[in-house]
Amino acid sequence: MSDFDPADLRVIAFDIFGTTFDWYSGVSEQVSRIAAEQGVTIDGGRFADDWRGRYIPSMRTVNSGERDWAYLDTLHRESLDDLLELHGVAAAFDEAARRRLVHVWHRLPAWPDAASGLARLRRRYVLAALSNGGFALLTNLVHHSGLPFDCVVSAELARAYKPLPAPYLTAAGLLDVEPGQVLMTAAHAWDLDGARAAGLRTAFVERPLEKGPHGAPDRAEDATSDLAVTGFGELADALGC
C-alpha cells in the first residue's frame, strides 16, 4: 500500500506458530521421543503434519459459534486423541502421556533469526506475541526461548480466534494504540488478511521450512501485505532498526 509509513507504527505483533517458532521440528522431534519412551514408534513428521492440519478446522468450530470457547490446549487434546486412534497407538498413551504430548506445543525451537531480529526491532517498537495459542502456552514458549517480547497477547483474552477481528483489536486496545499503529507479522496469508480487515498493517515473513521438508507453506506471492521479508533480520532492515 502506498500510504504505509513505518514511522506510524508503535507495536509489532508477531504470530507464533510457524512465524516465530518452528512447530514442525519441535513437535515431530518431541512426539517421536515420547512415543519411543512409551514403547511405540510414531513418524513424528507425519504426526506433526496431521496434528497441525486439524488446527484450523478445530478453531473454525469455535469462531463459527458451533461450540463454546475452548482454548488451544483443549483443541490440541481433542485432535490428539483422534490421531492416536488413527495411528493405531492409542493404548500406549495414558492420561499423563497425553498431557505431555499436548505440552510439546509449549516448548518449541525459535527460528534462528528470531532472537537477534526481535532484539533489533525492540529498540524502536513494542513487541507483542499475538497468537491463537493459550496465554500459558505462549508464556511458556517465551520463557523457554528467552525471546525478548514485551508482552503476550493470546486469542484467549478475546475468547475468539484469529482471523476474526477480536484478537487483533484486543491487542491494539490493551496496548492503547490505534489498529493502524500495529504491524501484524505472520507467515500465513489468512492471518494477514484477518489483521488487515481489522485495520492493522501487515508484514509477510516467508518461512520455507514451516511445514517441514515436504510441506507447501505460503509464499510471498500468495499473500497481500504492506511488507514481505524472509526473516526478522530483514524486517528490522526494512523498518530501519
Interface positions with a copy of itself (CB under 8 A):
73, 122, 126-128, 134-136, 138-140, 142-143, 146, 148, 150-152, 154, 156-157, 174-177
Minimum gap (Å) between residue 126 Cβ and a copy of itself: 5
Measured in whole angstroms, how far is the alpha carbon of residue 35 from the centre of its chain? 24
Tell me whether residue 116 or residue 224 sits nearer to a copy of itself (CB atom). Answer: 116
Tell me whether residue 89 or residue 157 sits nearer to a copy of itself (CB atom). Answer: 157
Tell me whether residue 30 or residue 181 sits nearer to a copy of itself (CB atom). Answer: 181
Cα–Cα dist 223/139, whole Å: 28
Minimum gap (Å) between residue 217 Cβ and a copy of itself: 28
At 53, the amino acid letter reads G
Tell me whether residue 46 or residue 144 sits nearer to a copy of itself (CB atom). Answer: 144
Cα dihedral sign, 16-22-24-29 = negative
Tell me whether residue 152 or residue 228 sits nearer to a copy of itself (CB atom). Answer: 152
Minimum gap (Å) between residue 176 Cβ and a copy of itself: 4
Read off the C-alpha cell for 64.
463459527
Minimum gap (Å) between residue 73 Cβ and a copy of itself: 8
By the 8 A CB rule, do 95 and 213 touch? no
212: left (phi over 0), alpha (psi -120 to 50) or beta: left
Minimum gap (Å) between residue 152 Cβ and a copy of itself: 5
Nearest to 130 by CA among 77, 89, 168, 182: 168
The residue whose grid cell reads 530501519 is: 240
Read off the C-alpha cell for 214.
515436504
